[in-house]
Structures are given as structure tokens and as C-alpha cells.
Amino acid sequence: MLDQIKQWDRELFIYLNSLGVEQYDQFWILVTQEEFWIPLYLFLLGLIFYKFKDAASRKYLLLGYLGSFAVTFGITRLIKFSVQRLRPNQVDSLKELIRVLQEPTYFSFVSGHTSTSMAITTYFVLLFRERFSWIYFLYLWPFLFASSRIYVGVHYPLDLLAGAILGVSIALLIYAFVKKMSPNLANEDL
């Protein structure tokens, strides 16, 4: 059964990767870079300072922000090291079948881009869902970020799905922890 799932994952990856169009390569290469999203990170940081004036609240919210990234990143690395799944761009039998626009060498499962972006996004959606109806649009970020990983040829769909599940799960835990630990946030309508 596991072999069949891996085969479906591989076939779906080949199909999705083959949908790439050369004229959009530069866009996807840009989208897949962490540095491209720095303005979004700064915007989210500013959102905390804009909506929460209390220093203690800010401290816990910032810890949650950083924690959602750091914990997810660390667990993602542990999983990658434990599973040691090769990236599609590292599999010789796929090299002639796929478009490869990047050549990362670390392991594939789970996607760190997907897990961390989903963790941060979910944390902020939980934090601001009562305050801003537009906050759900933040999920466009991890969707684009994750999609770019297939486009550039470095992740299978299951890497992305597992990364998304991991990121959401950690964000739920971090949010619950922050809400419980912050004396001022516990009384606010979050």
C-alpha cells in the first residue's frame, strides 16, 4: 500500500510539474524564495504592534509568532533527517521527466516552506480572525509558496500535504499556549 501511495505521489508530481510554462519560471523562482516574503513577515509583525498596545500581550504574541516558525522548522528538520526522502530533482529516473529550476540538496519530506508558512499563517488567522475578516486571505501565501515547490521541481505533493498538516497542528498548539500563558490575552476576545 505504501508503495502504491508513493507511486501516485510521484505520478501526480510529474503531472503538476509538467504544467509549468517557461514564461512564468522567473515568477515561480521569485515566489519560492524566503526573502521575497520579508515584507509580509514585517507586515504581520506590525499587525501585532498595531492591534495590541499592552507590552505583556505583545511579548507573548511575538513569542508565538517566532515560536510557530522555530518549532515548526525544528520538527520539520527532525522529520526530514528521520525519513530521508530524496527530492524529485535528486532522483535519476525523474531527471529526464521533470522541469528542475532549483537544486536543493537536503531531504524532501516534509516541506519546510509549506510547514512554516502554514504555521505562521494559521497562528495569525487564529489571532486575528475576530478582528479582520480579510485575514483568511493570508492562506494565499502558503498556497503559492507550496505550489512553487512543485513548479521548481523539488517537492512531491505528499511533502506539501504533510507540511501543511504539521504547520497547522503546531500553530494550534502555539496559539493555545500563548492564549493560556498571557494574562492579558486570556481576558481578551481572541
pLDDT digits 0-9 by tens, 91-114: 888 888 888 888 887 899 999 999
CB 110 within 8 A of CB 157: no
Give which of 115, 108, 28, 30 is closest to 70, Cα–Cα: 115
- pTM, 2 dp: 0.89
CB atoms under 10 Å from CB of 3, counted, come to: 7
Q: Which three cell numbers stand for residue 173?
A: 498548539
pLDDT above 60: residue 34: yes
pLDDT score recorded for residue 65: 93
Residues with Cβ within 8 Å of residue 66, at least 6 apart in sequence? none
Give which of 3, 34, 24 is closest to 145, Cα–Cα: 34
Give which of 45, 27, 44 is closest to 36, Cα–Cα: 27
Whether residue 169 lies inside any domain: the answer is yes
Whether residue 189 lies inside any domain: the answer is yes
pLDDT score recorded for residue 185: 64
Dihedrals phi, psi of 28, to nearest 5 degrees: -70, -35
Domain residue limits at 66: 59-109+133-190
Residue 142 to residues 19, 91, 116, 146: CA-CA distances in angstroms?
A: 20, 26, 9, 6
Whether residue 37 lies inside any domain: the answer is no
Give which of 3, 1, 12 is closest to 94, Cα–Cα: 12
Q: Which residue has the higher pLDDT, 88 or 52?
A: 88
pLDDT digits (tens, 9 = 90+) for 116-132: 999 999 999 999 998 89
Q: Which three cell numbers stand for residue 91?
A: 532522483
Measured at the CA of 175, the angle between CA 59 and CA 182, to 5 degrees, comes to: 40
Whether residue 12 lies inside any domain: the answer is no
- Domains in the chain, number: 1
**Mean pLDDT over each residue of the chain, to the nearest integer:** 90
Mean pLDDT computed over 2-9: 89
Whether residue 175 lies inside any domain: the answer is yes
